[in-house]
């Protein structure tokens, strides 16, 4: 049996980007986290300690988004790395980081990067 936990639509405001204006103005971002883990014990015990705490995933995302980077690729990697470090029971992890309305020479709604791995 496969157990998945999806935390989608973590909305944060941050100051990432290569342009100076991005460091001053900032932008809206969305973080989505997709986890495969075994939560059968938690499903029986109703004990938060036996599963992945959604609030911790949110706090990791918020903390790493607060550290300015030029590239969202670097931010995505930091979120990915901290989640894998915090939760040893994860067997698969995918982190998607989306920047809304990126400053480009064209009408672009969003850009995103993803990292995923079996652990």
The residue ranges of every structural domain in the chain are: 4-118
Q: What is the pTM of this model?
A: 0.96
The CATH fold assigned to 4-118 is GTP Cyclohydrolase I, domain 2 (3.30.1130)
In the three-class reduction of DSSP (H, G, I as helix; E, B as strand; rest coil), residue 53 is classed as coil
Strand order in the sheet with 110-118: 4-14, 27-37, 90-100, 110-118
Confidence of residue 17 (pLDDT cuts 50, 70, 90): very high
- Give pLDDT tens digits for 54-88: 999 999 999 999 999 999 999 999 999 999 999 99
In the three-class reduction of DSSP (H, G, I as helix; E, B as strand; rest coil), residue 66 is classed as coil
Confidence of residue 104 (pLDDT cuts 50, 70, 90): confident
């Amino acid at each position: 049996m496969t157990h998945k936990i999806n935390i989608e639509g973590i909305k944060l405001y941050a100051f990432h980007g290569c342009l100076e204006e991005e460091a001053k103005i900032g932008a809206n971002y969305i973080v989505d986290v997709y986890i495969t883990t075994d939560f059968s014990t938690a499903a029986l015990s109703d004990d938060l300690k036996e599963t992945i705490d959604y609030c911790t995933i949110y706090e990791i995302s918020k903390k790493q988004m607060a550290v300015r980077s030029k590239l969202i690729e670097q931010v995505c990697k930091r979120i990915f790395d901290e989640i894998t470090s915090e939760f040893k029971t994860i067997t698969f992890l995918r982190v998607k980081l989306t920047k809304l309305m990126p400053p480009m020479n064209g009408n672009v709604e969003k850009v995103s990067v993803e990292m995923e791995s079996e652990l």
